[in-house]
Amino acid sequence: MIQIDALPAFSDNYLWLLQDVNRRECAVVDPGDAAPVEQWLQAHPGWKLTDILVTHHHADHVGGVARLKSETGARVLGPSSEKIPARDVALNDGDHVEVLGLGFEVIHVPGHTLGHIAYFHADANQPLLFCGDTLFAAGCGRLFEGTPAQMYDSLSRLAALPDPTQVYCAHEYTLSNLRFACAVEPENPDVRARFEEVTRWREQGKISLPSSIGLERATNPFLRVSEISVKKIADERSGQETRAPEEVFATIRRWKDQF
Protein backbone atom coordinates (compact mmCIF):
# COMPACT_ATOMS: atom_id res chain seq x y z
CA MET A 1 0.00 0.00 0.00
CA ILE A 2 1.27 3.42 -0.98
CA GLN A 3 0.71 6.42 1.28
CA ILE A 4 -0.05 9.72 -0.45
CA ASP A 5 0.31 13.13 1.19
CA ALA A 6 -0.25 16.66 -0.07
CA LEU A 7 2.65 19.08 0.19
CA PRO A 8 1.20 22.61 -0.10
CA ALA A 9 3.00 25.07 -2.37
CA PHE A 10 2.41 28.65 -3.48
CA SER A 11 -1.11 29.86 -2.65
CA ASP A 12 -3.17 26.83 -3.67
CA ASN A 13 -0.98 24.13 -5.28
CA TYR A 14 -0.59 20.61 -3.96
CA LEU A 15 2.49 18.53 -4.71
CA TRP A 16 1.46 14.90 -4.27
CA LEU A 17 4.05 12.80 -2.47
CA LEU A 18 3.73 9.03 -2.92
CA GLN A 19 5.51 7.00 -0.25
CA ASP A 20 6.53 3.34 -0.10
CA VAL A 21 6.97 2.97 3.63
CA ASN A 22 8.62 -0.45 3.40
CA ARG A 23 11.31 0.64 0.95
CA ARG A 24 11.52 4.22 2.30
CA GLU A 25 11.26 5.53 -1.22
CA CYS A 26 9.04 8.30 -2.51
CA ALA A 27 7.92 10.02 -5.69
CA VAL A 28 6.42 13.45 -6.27
CA VAL A 29 3.93 14.76 -8.82
CA ASP A 30 4.31 18.23 -10.37
CA PRO A 31 6.84 19.87 -8.02
CA GLY A 32 6.49 23.50 -9.03
CA ASP A 33 8.58 24.38 -5.98
CA ALA A 34 11.46 22.22 -4.73
CA ALA A 35 11.35 23.53 -1.15
CA PRO A 36 8.37 21.52 0.20
CA VAL A 37 9.94 18.29 -1.06
CA GLU A 38 13.36 19.21 0.30
CA GLN A 39 11.83 19.99 3.69
CA TRP A 40 9.99 16.67 3.75
CA LEU A 41 13.16 14.74 2.88
CA GLN A 42 15.11 16.61 5.58
CA ALA A 43 12.43 15.67 8.12
CA HIS A 44 12.54 12.01 6.99
CA PRO A 45 16.20 10.98 6.94
CA GLY A 46 16.98 7.80 5.07
CA TRP A 47 14.25 8.31 2.47
CA LYS A 48 15.07 8.52 -1.24
CA LEU A 49 13.20 10.45 -3.92
CA THR A 50 13.17 8.05 -6.86
CA ASP A 51 10.79 9.65 -9.36
CA ILE A 52 9.32 12.99 -10.42
CA LEU A 53 6.10 12.78 -12.43
CA VAL A 54 5.12 15.81 -14.50
CA THR A 55 1.73 16.37 -16.14
CA HIS A 56 2.44 19.55 -18.13
CA HIS A 57 4.92 22.37 -18.65
CA HIS A 58 3.48 25.28 -16.62
CA ALA A 59 5.93 26.83 -14.17
CA ASP A 60 3.90 26.04 -11.06
CA HIS A 61 4.25 22.36 -12.00
CA VAL A 62 7.88 22.16 -13.16
CA GLY A 63 9.67 25.00 -11.32
CA GLY A 64 11.35 22.69 -8.81
CA VAL A 65 12.07 19.75 -11.11
CA ALA A 66 15.63 20.57 -12.16
CA ARG A 67 16.77 21.32 -8.60
CA LEU A 68 15.26 18.14 -7.20
CA LYS A 69 16.78 16.11 -10.03
CA SER A 70 20.19 17.62 -9.32
CA GLU A 71 19.94 16.99 -5.57
CA THR A 72 18.48 13.48 -5.61
CA GLY A 73 19.10 11.94 -9.03
CA ALA A 74 15.40 11.15 -9.29
CA ARG A 75 14.06 10.01 -12.65
CA VAL A 76 11.95 12.68 -14.36
CA LEU A 77 8.95 11.56 -16.39
CA GLY A 78 6.81 13.92 -18.46
CA PRO A 79 4.90 14.46 -21.71
CA SER A 80 6.93 14.00 -24.85
CA SER A 81 5.50 17.01 -26.70
CA GLU A 82 6.20 19.62 -24.04
CA LYS A 83 9.42 21.16 -22.74
CA ILE A 84 9.97 19.52 -19.35
CA PRO A 85 13.18 20.37 -17.41
CA ALA A 86 15.65 17.49 -16.92
CA ARG A 87 13.21 14.96 -18.40
CA ASP A 88 14.55 11.39 -18.57
CA VAL A 89 11.46 9.60 -19.90
CA ALA A 90 9.25 11.14 -22.58
CA LEU A 91 5.70 9.80 -22.36
CA ASN A 92 2.90 9.44 -24.88
CA ASP A 93 -0.72 8.31 -24.75
CA GLY A 94 -1.01 4.65 -23.84
CA ASP A 95 2.49 4.29 -22.43
CA HIS A 96 2.93 2.32 -19.21
CA VAL A 97 5.43 3.19 -16.50
CA GLU A 98 6.24 1.76 -13.08
CA VAL A 99 6.74 4.05 -10.10
CA LEU A 100 7.34 2.70 -6.58
CA GLY A 101 6.17 -0.69 -7.80
CA LEU A 102 2.88 0.71 -9.11
CA GLY A 103 1.98 0.49 -12.78
CA PHE A 104 0.60 3.66 -14.35
CA GLU A 105 -1.08 4.15 -17.72
CA VAL A 106 -0.39 7.47 -19.43
CA ILE A 107 -3.49 9.24 -20.74
CA HIS A 108 -3.07 12.17 -23.12
CA VAL A 109 -5.57 14.85 -22.02
CA PRO A 110 -5.10 17.99 -24.17
CA GLY A 111 -7.05 21.14 -23.41
CA HIS A 112 -5.35 23.03 -20.61
CA THR A 113 -2.13 22.53 -22.58
CA LEU A 114 -1.73 20.58 -25.80
CA GLY A 115 0.65 17.96 -24.40
CA HIS A 116 -0.93 17.52 -20.96
CA ILE A 117 -0.95 13.95 -19.63
CA ALA A 118 -2.49 12.17 -16.66
CA TYR A 119 -1.23 9.11 -14.78
CA PHE A 120 -3.74 6.34 -13.98
CA HIS A 121 -3.10 3.37 -11.71
CA ALA A 122 -5.81 0.77 -12.31
CA ASP A 123 -5.46 -1.44 -9.22
CA ALA A 124 -8.92 -2.59 -8.11
CA ASN A 125 -8.12 -1.91 -4.44
CA GLN A 126 -6.54 1.52 -4.90
CA PRO A 127 -7.24 3.09 -8.33
CA LEU A 128 -5.41 6.42 -8.57
CA LEU A 129 -5.47 9.34 -11.00
CA PHE A 130 -2.99 12.20 -11.04
CA CYS A 131 -4.55 14.63 -13.48
CA GLY A 132 -2.69 17.93 -13.01
CA ASP A 133 -4.84 20.82 -14.24
CA THR A 134 -7.22 18.91 -16.52
CA LEU A 135 -9.84 17.66 -14.08
CA PHE A 136 -10.36 19.57 -10.84
CA ALA A 137 -12.66 18.73 -7.95
CA ALA A 138 -16.01 20.07 -9.26
CA GLY A 139 -14.25 21.81 -12.15
CA CYS A 140 -11.71 21.66 -14.96
CA GLY A 141 -8.72 23.62 -16.14
CA ARG A 142 -8.80 26.74 -18.29
CA LEU A 143 -8.22 26.28 -21.99
CA PHE A 144 -4.85 27.97 -22.45
CA GLU A 145 -3.78 26.00 -25.50
CA GLY A 146 -6.44 23.49 -26.51
CA THR A 147 -9.97 23.72 -27.86
CA PRO A 148 -13.27 23.07 -26.07
CA ALA A 149 -13.67 19.90 -28.15
CA GLN A 150 -10.26 18.64 -27.04
CA MET A 151 -10.98 19.32 -23.38
CA TYR A 152 -14.41 17.73 -23.63
CA ASP A 153 -12.84 14.59 -25.10
CA SER A 154 -10.14 14.59 -22.42
CA LEU A 155 -12.64 14.90 -19.59
CA SER A 156 -14.80 12.20 -21.16
CA ARG A 157 -11.85 9.81 -21.05
CA LEU A 158 -11.29 10.55 -17.38
CA ALA A 159 -15.00 10.33 -16.55
CA ALA A 160 -15.02 6.81 -18.01
CA LEU A 161 -12.56 5.58 -15.37
CA PRO A 162 -13.97 3.47 -12.51
CA ASP A 163 -16.07 5.40 -9.97
CA PRO A 164 -13.79 4.55 -6.99
CA THR A 165 -10.76 6.10 -8.72
CA GLN A 166 -9.18 8.61 -6.36
CA VAL A 167 -8.65 11.94 -8.14
CA TYR A 168 -5.52 13.87 -7.18
CA CYS A 169 -5.60 17.24 -8.94
CA ALA A 170 -3.08 20.00 -8.43
CA HIS A 171 -5.00 22.91 -6.90
CA GLU A 172 -7.35 23.71 -4.00
CA TYR A 173 -10.09 25.20 -6.17
CA THR A 174 -12.94 23.03 -4.92
CA LEU A 175 -15.01 25.55 -3.00
CA SER A 176 -15.02 28.16 -5.77
CA ASN A 177 -15.77 25.43 -8.30
CA LEU A 178 -18.71 24.27 -6.22
CA ARG A 179 -20.11 27.80 -6.06
CA PHE A 180 -20.21 27.68 -9.84
CA ALA A 181 -21.67 24.17 -9.84
CA CYS A 182 -24.49 25.46 -7.62
CA ALA A 183 -25.20 28.16 -10.20
CA VAL A 184 -25.28 25.60 -13.02
CA GLU A 185 -27.45 23.06 -11.18
CA PRO A 186 -29.19 24.81 -8.26
CA GLU A 187 -31.60 21.88 -7.86
CA ASN A 188 -28.91 19.19 -7.70
CA PRO A 189 -28.92 17.91 -4.09
CA ASP A 190 -25.51 16.25 -4.48
CA VAL A 191 -23.93 19.56 -5.49
CA ARG A 192 -25.51 21.40 -2.58
CA ALA A 193 -24.47 18.74 -0.08
CA ARG A 194 -20.92 18.75 -1.37
CA PHE A 195 -20.76 22.53 -1.25
CA GLU A 196 -21.84 22.52 2.40
CA GLU A 197 -19.39 19.74 3.28
CA VAL A 198 -16.40 21.39 1.61
CA THR A 199 -17.33 24.73 3.18
CA ARG A 200 -17.05 23.08 6.62
CA TRP A 201 -13.77 21.41 5.70
CA ARG A 202 -12.18 24.64 4.52
CA GLU A 203 -13.37 26.50 7.63
CA GLN A 204 -11.58 23.79 9.66
CA GLY A 205 -8.44 24.08 7.55
CA LYS A 206 -8.89 20.66 5.90
CA ILE A 207 -8.03 20.05 2.27
CA SER A 208 -10.80 18.94 -0.08
CA LEU A 209 -8.83 16.28 -1.96
CA PRO A 210 -8.65 13.63 -3.18
CA SER A 211 -11.99 13.43 -4.90
CA SER A 212 -13.30 10.40 -6.80
CA ILE A 213 -14.55 9.86 -10.32
CA GLY A 214 -17.95 8.83 -8.98
CA LEU A 215 -18.27 12.05 -6.98
CA GLU A 216 -17.18 14.11 -9.97
CA ARG A 217 -19.73 12.47 -12.23
CA ALA A 218 -22.44 13.45 -9.73
CA THR A 219 -21.36 17.01 -8.99
CA ASN A 220 -18.94 18.37 -11.60
CA PRO A 221 -20.83 20.39 -14.25
CA PHE A 222 -18.09 19.79 -16.81
CA LEU A 223 -18.66 16.03 -16.58
CA ARG A 224 -22.44 16.54 -16.71
CA VAL A 225 -22.87 18.39 -20.00
CA SER A 226 -25.13 15.62 -21.33
CA GLU A 227 -27.57 16.11 -18.43
CA ILE A 228 -30.81 17.91 -19.31
CA SER A 229 -30.38 20.35 -16.42
CA VAL A 230 -26.93 21.45 -17.62
CA LYS A 231 -27.94 21.62 -21.27
CA LYS A 232 -30.97 23.75 -20.36
CA ILE A 233 -28.95 26.40 -18.56
CA ALA A 234 -26.32 26.36 -21.31
CA ASP A 235 -29.10 27.13 -23.80
CA GLU A 236 -30.24 30.00 -21.58
CA ARG A 237 -26.71 31.37 -21.38
CA SER A 238 -26.04 31.14 -25.11
CA GLY A 239 -29.51 32.20 -26.26
CA GLN A 240 -29.73 29.27 -28.64
CA GLU A 241 -30.16 25.53 -28.58
CA THR A 242 -26.83 23.75 -28.11
CA ARG A 243 -26.99 20.29 -29.60
CA ALA A 244 -23.64 18.55 -29.15
CA PRO A 245 -22.21 17.91 -25.66
CA GLU A 246 -18.96 19.65 -26.62
CA GLU A 247 -21.00 22.78 -27.45
CA VAL A 248 -22.63 22.64 -24.02
CA PHE A 249 -19.18 22.25 -22.50
CA ALA A 250 -17.86 25.28 -24.40
CA THR A 251 -20.75 27.43 -23.20
CA ILE A 252 -20.33 26.36 -19.57
CA ARG A 253 -16.55 26.87 -19.72
CA ARG A 254 -16.94 30.41 -21.09
CA TRP A 255 -19.39 31.16 -18.28
CA LYS A 256 -16.96 29.83 -15.68
CA ASP A 257 -14.17 32.02 -17.07
CA GLN A 258 -16.25 35.09 -16.18
CA PHE A 259 -17.96 33.75 -13.05
pLDDT reported for residue 119: 98
Active site residues: 56, 58, 60-61, 112, 133, 171
pLDDT reported for residue 173: 97
E strands along the chain, which residues?
3-9, 13-20, 25-29, 48-53, 75-79, 89-91, 96-99, 102-108, 117-121, 128-132, 135-136, 139-140, 166-169, 211-212
Counting as low any pLDDT under 50, the low residues of the chain are none
pLDDT reported for residue 215: 98
Q: Which domain holds residue 233?
A: 3-258
Kind of pairing between the strands at 139-140 and 166-169: unpaired
Q: Residue 159 is part of a domain; what is its CATH number?
A: 3.60.15.10
The count of other CB atoms within 10 Å of the CB of residue 212 is 18
pLDDT reported for residue 258: 94
Domain count, the chain: 1
Q: For the purposes of burial, counting CB atoms within 10 Å of the CB of 206, is it exposed (0-12), middle (13-18) or buried (19 or more)?
A: exposed
